[in-house]
Structure 1
Amino acid sequence: MSAEDSSVVPGGARERRTPFGVLDDLDRALLRELERDGRISNKDLAARVGVAPSTCHARVAALRARGVLRGFHADVDPDAVGRGLQAIIAVRLQAAARARLGAFARTLAARPEVRDVYLLGGTEDVMLHVAVHDSRALRAFVVEHLSTRPEVAHTQTSLVFEHVHAPTTAV
């Protein structure tokens, strides 16, 4: 971060310019707490960060309006819904197909097996996180939705033995 991307404002608070506007210490504290518990009440959130509930509500609303907070979601255990086998699948596309990378990724993201899709720079073009019932379902997904597609040059599947969730970012 360059010197012009960060500044100290009166009271010693730090501000950081981002593509979503300026984030100050209070914004970052709110984001940290919301990442820990997205269901926290406004009253409890305000108490944790040391501001009035009205200030807290206004700041969270502003973070949502600016697109910093994209939404809230439930973290469902795949085992609990019968999708206990997870895998990470690296996908390399044919060179001529890379122009259609976005459409390819959106198609995969719509599949019920797919938990996350990452578009990459480097050797691989796409990384998928999938959750399926068993190895037979994983094989079927790879064959039916990846290997048989003409735009796919290569796939490499790695099983996930354990997922350790890191709930907070360095905000």
Structure 2
Amino acid sequence: MINRKIDDLDLKILNILQDDGKVSNAEIARKVGKAPSAVLERVRKLRRNGIIKGYECIVDHKMLGRALTAFTSIRVEEGVGATEVGAKLAELPEVLEVHYTAGRDSYLVKVRVEDTESLQATLAKFGTISAVRDTNSTIVLTTVKESRVIPLPTNDE
């Protein structure tokens, strides 16, 4: 369910920003048919309300020597609802995502490293966290789709 504070204009602005985070305020205004000052205030409100969390630069991980992507399921011994291990995992620079999960495993972690030797070293780091009991990694062969964009339907669609 979409936040009730978000209207159709906000959704249009969010779609534009998700497509290109560096788009100018004037270009957004042109695309949505509003004054730049009105659009700027909308974007500020979306940031203030925590809907826009920030902007990021997407780099080609292979060009930067991080050709291997792996997903690791991690089983831990910590209290139900405790996420201290997750916080420790998140501190590692090769860890891109940490998800606390329901089920047999406690965490699903996305890792980007140079090669299998680097993955082995990363798994060894996981093992130094005292509550970690087991890991199971899946190495990605090809990424078909990877995105952080959330499609936001507007009344125009």
TM-score (norm 1): 0.80
The structure, 1 or 2, with the larger RCO (C-alpha pairs under 8 Å, 6+ apart) is: 2
Give % identity. Answer: 30
> How far off its partner does 1:47 sit?
1.4
- Aligned position for 1:69: 52
Cα RMSD after superposing both structures:
1.8
Which deviations, in whole Å up to 9, do the C-alpha atoms of 1:79-127 show, x marking residues without a partner?
1211111101111112xx1358422212211211111111112222111
Q: Is the 8 A contact 1:36 1:167 kept in 2?
A: no
Instruction: Rate the CA distance shift 1:142–1:36 in 2: closer, same or farther, 3 A.
Output: same
Unpaired runs of 5+ in structure 1?
2-15
- Looking at structure 1, the residues matched to 65 and 84 of structure 2 have their Cα atoms a distance apart, in angstroms, of 28
Q: Secondary structure at the match of 2:5?
A: strand
- Which amino acid is the alignment partner of residue 117 of structure 1? V
Q: Secondary structure at the match of 2:52?
A: coil
**Aligned pair partner of 1:37 in 20, 29, 51:** 20
- Which amino acid is the alignment partner of residue 33 of structure 2? G
TM-score (norm 2): 0.87
Please say if 1:47 is aligned against 2:30: yes
Mapping for residues 5-44 of structure 1, pairs under 5 Å: 16=2, 18=3, 22-44=5-27
Mapping for residues 95-134 of structure 1, pairs under 5 Å: 97-98=78-79, 101-134=82-115
Which deviations, in whole Å up to 9, do the C-alpha atoms of 1:1-21 show, x marking residues without a partner?
5xxxxxxxxxxxxxx5x3xx6
- Matched residue count: 151
Higher strand share: 1
**Aligned pair partner of 1:137 in 110, 113, 118:** 118
> How far off its partner does 1:30 sit?
1.0
- Looking at structure 2, the residues matched to 124 and 34 of structure 1 have their Cα atoms a distance apart, in angstroms, of 35
* Stretch of structure 1 that moved more, 53-62 or 110-119: 110-119
> How far off its partner does 1:77 sit?
1.4
Unpaired runs of 5+ in structure 2?
153-157
Please say if 1:168 is aligned against 2:146: no
Q: Is the 8 A contact 2:85 2:129 kept in 1?
A: no
Which deviations, in whole Å up to 9, do the C-alpha atoms of 1:54-74 show, x marking residues without a partner?
111000000001110000011
Q: Secondary structure at the match of 1:78?
A: coil
